[in-house]
Amino acid sequence: MAQSQFALSWESYKSNVCSGFSSFQQNGELVDMTLAADGHLVKVHQVLIALASPYLKQLIVSVPTQHPVIFLNNVSHPTLSLILEYIYTGEVRVAAENLSAFMDAAKSLHIRGLENITDSGSSTTRTETSMNQSNMDNTRSFKKIEQILPPNAKKIFVNVSADSGMVAVEQANVDDSMHDYSDRMDDTEHDFDYDDDDDNKTVDTPSKPDHETKTAANVGAQEKLDKMNLQFTVSIRGALQIILNRYIYNLHSSQSTGVRRWRCIDYRNRKCLAFVTTQGNVVLNRANPHNHSFHDKKIIDKIEKNAVYSAIDDVKDLENVKTHTKKGSDSSDFVSFLQGYKCDPAVKKLQEYIRIDTSKQENVELSVQFWRREAAKLGLPFKVYRPGRLPVCITTLEGSKPDLPSILLNSHSDVVPVDAELWTYPPFSGHIDDNGILFGRGTQDTKGVSIQYMEAIRRLIEKNVTLDRTVHVMVVPDEETGSFDGLIPFLKTDDFKSLNIGFALDEGITSTDDTMFGTYVDKRPWQMQFNLQGASGHGSSIQKQTVMEQVQTLINMAMEYRNQQLVIMSANSPIDYGSYSTLNMNMLNSGIANNVIPSKASAVMDIRLSVDQNISDFEALIDSWLAKLGNKTTIKFIRRVEKSSATVVDESNTYWVALRDTVKGLGFKIVPAVCPATSDMLLLREIGIPAIGFSSRTNMVSRMHDVDEYIPVDNFLPVKNCATRRMLFYFAFLVLINLCVSSTIPGVQNDPAVKRLQEYLQIDTSDPENIDNSEKAVNFWRRQAAELNLPFAVHRPGGLPICVLTLIGSKPELPSIMLNSHSDVVPVDDELWMYPPFSAHIDEEGNLFGRGVQDCKSNGVQYLEAIRKLLEKNITLERTVHVTVMPDEETGGSKGMVPFAKTKEFQALNVGFALDEGMPSSSDVLYALYVDKRPWQMKFEIQGGGGHGSFLKTGSVIEQVQTLINTAQAYRDHQSQKMKSKAATDYGGYTSLNINMIKGGIAGNVIPSRMTVVIDVRLSVEEEVSEFQSVIDSWMSKLGKNTRLEYIRRMTSSTATAVDDTNKYWVAMRDTLKSLNVTVLPVVSPGTTDMAEIRALGIPAIGFTTNRKTEIKAHDVDEYLPVETFLEGIDLYAALIQRLANLP
């Protein structure tokens, strides 16, 4: 008997599954793969991606990892967001201007339902495309819809979480009233620009529609968010805050609709990116995990002060804030203070001074004018001295007893350079945020101090305070780079002696608490530039004794010493700066192009010696480094101080006693300390003047030389109820490269072909974007075509010119022969060349020197001269021959062969076989390159903590660079061993890796916040892409979340041309050369050429050059070609062209 069965149906199954997956992706739940596009990483679900795209499914299956990472070339981040919305929800709305990019990407990724889409709508402004529920393989159609999105329109925003290094995808239901705010995880890039007088900027948005539609999943999520315990409070500065789940958030922005965006109060100090969006008393959204503990203590303090509220109306108005703040509290005082601080004249002066970019010497006179005006306002004498190249400014307040030794208040006008892209606000804007924080280069070091000096004097004058001693406010230049054009020459003048200095105050150390420091001795600076040299060449080769091996050795030795000092530092008191030496590699530069192994590198090391470091011992250490690096390495001392005098800090120094006792009397503590850096006071102490480094910057984080240098305005100005204590600061401020030998070989230099090659070489085409030189190359080829009466055409599919000279055959219907070369050459470091690289100099031995003479301008001219010989002999060719000259080959061909191969103009050439550049041979055997190795050129951008070059900071960029170099070199060493086990011509049997560019650092005494490393890899024929990708993924994992990887070029496949009897072109080429007693050997190309694109189209192509018995110097210093070899090659090409173009 049949059993009873029950049919159970989940009516909302489809909507729940769609919304459920969307919610999972939004929260990063159960995601198991990553898509990378346009520098962004998006975590998604393999099963959905595989269902939506058979192409991506194949890639997923081919990657044997639990969490594959797939890089999508030529897909932008916004386009990927739209595609993901389509995959996760079944529909998407695309703006008309974005439709083409969207469809191109969808088709290239074989997204089901979008591969064969047709237009069935009318011409309007936005496009909606949806996925048929019953059959995912059907042809889809799209319809045009209105510009305004309905309330349930979804937006997807993708960004990287700074906390985890992983990616979250936000997906929110938005209505028209919320179109203007987009909650992104990387909110530092999209902050509102506040005017100086606005605490919060209001954004006008369209009015909210009468109806609102929500999906089931979002309704549930909203109900959950609505039940969160949201409370409101105010900061000590009177700024609106919220409390949510034991965390406090500051108000960041607001809209006229009542939508507000809040970010964690630890956004500045800890870079916490957590944020919340509210409307009224309701939480709309929250994102990003906190990277710190709860704010329980702060919340309890606010509760005890009755400063926590359940509704925003209770506290959103500033007047209400005042009313609800306890009488006499610091908060009330600060609210009143903040209302006027942006108009305070002292703050305005500091902002004006900050806005003078004195990291550039051309702005130094603007600084002089600033100080001249300030002195004039106070009626004080002002003088400018120029003992060096730069001005020293002195403003003087004369004392009643000018015979007494004077007090010098010193500061410096120069500031270290900046990497503006890393700053939250422009570094020379003097921006003040809504928390009263003034940002700018020099706020801490030391423009803030300079203004405080003058304001202190202003107040003394206003109060008619008489001083016995004369006070000099001195502003020196060039302190950051060693004072060679500032205080050093000034000290030797009679003008300085006339100042009669008895005691000096200068810049000091920032304190994180109420303790103040008096620095009495400076650590000794040793700033050294190591200049390293090594073998150079093509980026696809594995050279011995490269400069990067030397760089690696130097970094490892330096970091070993640095780590020893870190151990010493950790064993001592945090303020015992004198017990250890600091070492930072602040500048590291090498490389001229991604595919050129550099011949030299420079590394600038900033060392500050501990108080007890013996000079001879340290010299011996440096000598041992130089011995390991070899005799090609030189060292230049930028600064080298062997002795640093100390100022006495005991009862015998009346200046110190006065400073100490005054601080103590005001309830503060001042501690004598060794200055971890080096200031101008080192110079004053050396001539016997007692000097102390002192700063009023307490309860703040030191950002000297770092990104986002700042000072809280309340730290800069006196605040009510703190005026007496701030007077302490006023007291403290009162109580810083061609010889060219022309030679000829009879007949050679006057050969017309040689003359033409020299002319071509003398056009500097190392920069394809240089329009003038690019057009000079075009004009060169146009003239050659005209001389031979050949058709000439110029095509620009990628913006750069492609030249085609054509010799029409007697049977033009036959597939043609393509003779390809490229006009662009790699950059040069001309200081290392024997002769100017674009002079086309011929030496006494008949060697023609010039960038491109091997790679590959000689090939182009040899083609031309071979055709000239055939024409002169009236030889008829059946097949048409095209001489093509490409741009941009050296950087990947993205503006040359890559787009040209897709055009009708290329198709019209009807190419049957192609010859292109090859590889010189050191023997009589010539090489035929039938397949190219696959290039992976990668740019690693590494970020880390910056700061002053005198600090030993963990997590620095150079530590990560060291890790990357050691990891990459270890892989290179493995491949080098593999190369040694192969035949000399088995270039395809190993992968080459070269670190070709390192860029980082902005000044010798600034720990860099980021460095870039460019690695050029050419994969072996046998290397599996997935396996090498896993290698790179492991590198990225080791480097951590602050490293970003950009693929400059990434080729996953390379087609081969048959080099056997099945290929008639190869047979003709081989047999022709054999008849000329020339042996040709098929080999894998160690590099990558334009032929990779041609072979991918199914066209047989061989890389070939006639340069035998020639040293390989492509991309190398002193690239050259014997003139006799060049002329011999013309005859070889003439024979090859005649044979190939007459094949039936």
Active site residues: 824, 889
Q: Is the peptide bond before 856 cis (omega within 30 degrees of 0)?
A: yes
Closest C-alpha to 849, from 751, 758, 936 = 758
Helix, strand, or coil (residue 245):
coil
* Signed CA dihedral, 647, 652, 655, 660: sign only: positive
Q: Are strands 691-694 and 634-640 parallel, antiparallel or unpaired?
A: unpaired
CA-based radius of gyration for the chain = 35
Closest C-alpha to 1133, from 902, 951, 918, 922 = 918
For 1021, the token pair is 């024929």
Q: Which amino acid is at 474?
A: M
Coarse DSSP helix, strand, coil percentages of the chain, rounded to the nearest 5 percent: 35, 25, 45
Q: Which residues contact 951 (CB under 8 A, 6 or more apart)?
A: 582, 584, 676, 1007
Whole-number Å distance between alpha carbons of 13 and 29 = 20
Tokens 């809040």, located at residue: 262
Whole-number Å distance between alpha carbons of 756 and 176 = 67
For 689, the token pair is 């003047």
Closest C-alpha to 521, from 654, 682, 684 = 682
DSSP string, 570-589: HTS-TT-GGGS-EEEEEEEE
* Signed CA dihedral, 1032, 1035, 1041, 1047: sign only: negative
Helix, strand, or coil (residue 1077):
coil
* Secondary structure letter of residue 312 according to DSSP: G
For 330, the token pair is 């610091």
863 — alpha (psi -120 to 50), left (phi > 0) or beta?
alpha
Whole-number Å distance between alpha carbons of 420 and 707 = 8
Burial class of residue 158 (count of CB atoms within 10 Å of its CB; 0-12, 13-18, 19+): buried
Beta bridge partners of 1083: 929
* Secondary structure letter of residue 890 according to DSSP: T
Helix, strand, or coil (residue 861):
helix
Whole-number Å distance between alpha carbons of 362 and 372 = 18
Q: H or E stretch including 608?
A: strand 600-609
Beta bridge partners of 842: 848
Query: At what angle are helices 752-761 and 857-872 packed, to 10 degrees?
Result: 150
Nearest-5° angle of CA 861, CA 865, CA 868?
Answer: 145
Whole-number Å distance between alpha carbons of 855 and 916 = 11
Phi, psi (deg, nearest 5) at residue 610: -65, 165
Q: Are strands 691-694 and 501-506 parallel, antiparallel or unpaired?
A: parallel
Phi, psi (deg, nearest 5) at residue 406: -85, 170
For 1144, the token pair is 């039936």
Helix, strand, or coil (residue 345):
helix
User: For the chain, give me the number of helices (H) and strands (E)?
Assistant: 31, 49
CB atoms within 10 A of CB 889: 26
Closest C-alpha to 975, from 1016, 1013, 939 = 1016
Whole-number Å distance between alpha carbons of 996 and 999 = 10
